[in-house]
């Protein structure tokens, strides 16, 4: 495959995870998943991880997989989309859990963790049905932080996000 084909393949593979992650930001809010509970004096996850964000990410990411499966006439893309989305929203939760344990408050930046948590969770679960080739995986790791920071920067400027990371 040529470089540009590899890049497009990587973007299509990870796209449901991007939709899941953005949907959580766009539609999130309301009741936090940890219900406000703490562990050793710190929030388990924090107010930034809500049921609505988790649910909308899972649903809209899966719908993206469905649409991709129809467009590309590939049935595997629906279960893949579901697993990528579940992995994305769960990876994001896992990172928040970790951030709270090391003493970072909700919204405090954790370089690379904030940008890659959801994509790594997505690849982990997505690999159950379709593991990406090594080159595709490396491309995902390289392009996701840039795309994530750009998208979040825009989200911040239009008032959707409280901080630009």
Residues near Mg ion (CB under 5 A), total? 1
The partner in contact with residue 106, picked from Mg ion, ligand CTP, none with C-beta cut-offs of 5 to 8 angstroms by kind, is ligand CTP
Identify which of residues 57 and 77 has a Cβ nearer to ligand CTP in the complex.
57
Identify which of residues 83 and 96 has a Cβ nearer to ligand CTP in the complex.
96
| Minimum separation from the CB atom of position 51 to ligand CTP (A) | 8
Identify which of residues 24 and 116 has a Cβ nearer to ligand CTP in the complex.
24
Lay out the site mask for Mg ion across 105-124 (x = CB under 5 A, - = otherwise). Answer: ---------x----------
Beta-bridged to residue 39, according to DSSP, are 42
Q: Which of positions 18-77 make contact with Mg ion (CB under 5 A)?
A: none
């Amino acid at each position: 495959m040529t470089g540009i084909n590899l890049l497009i393949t990587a973007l299509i593979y990870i796209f449901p995870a991007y939709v899941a992650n953005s949907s959580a930001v766009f539609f999130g809010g309301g009741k936090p998943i940890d219900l406000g509970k703490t562990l050793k004096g710190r929030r388990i996850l924090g107010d930034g991880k809500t049921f609505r964000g988790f649910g909308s990410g899972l649903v809209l990411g899966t719908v993206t997989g469905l649409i991709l499966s129809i467009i590309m006439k590939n049935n595997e893309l629906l279960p893949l989309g579901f697993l990528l989305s579940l992995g994305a929203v769960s990876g994001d939760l896992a990172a928040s859990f970790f951030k709270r344990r090391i003493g970072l408050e909700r919204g405090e930046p954790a370089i690379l963790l904030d940008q890659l948590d959801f994509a790594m969770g997505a690849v982990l679960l997505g690999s159950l049905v379709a593991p990406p080739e090594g080159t595709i995986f490396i491309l995902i790791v390289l392009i996701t932080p840039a795309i994530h920071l750009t998208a979040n920067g825009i989200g911040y400027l239009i008032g959707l996000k409280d901080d630009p990371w």
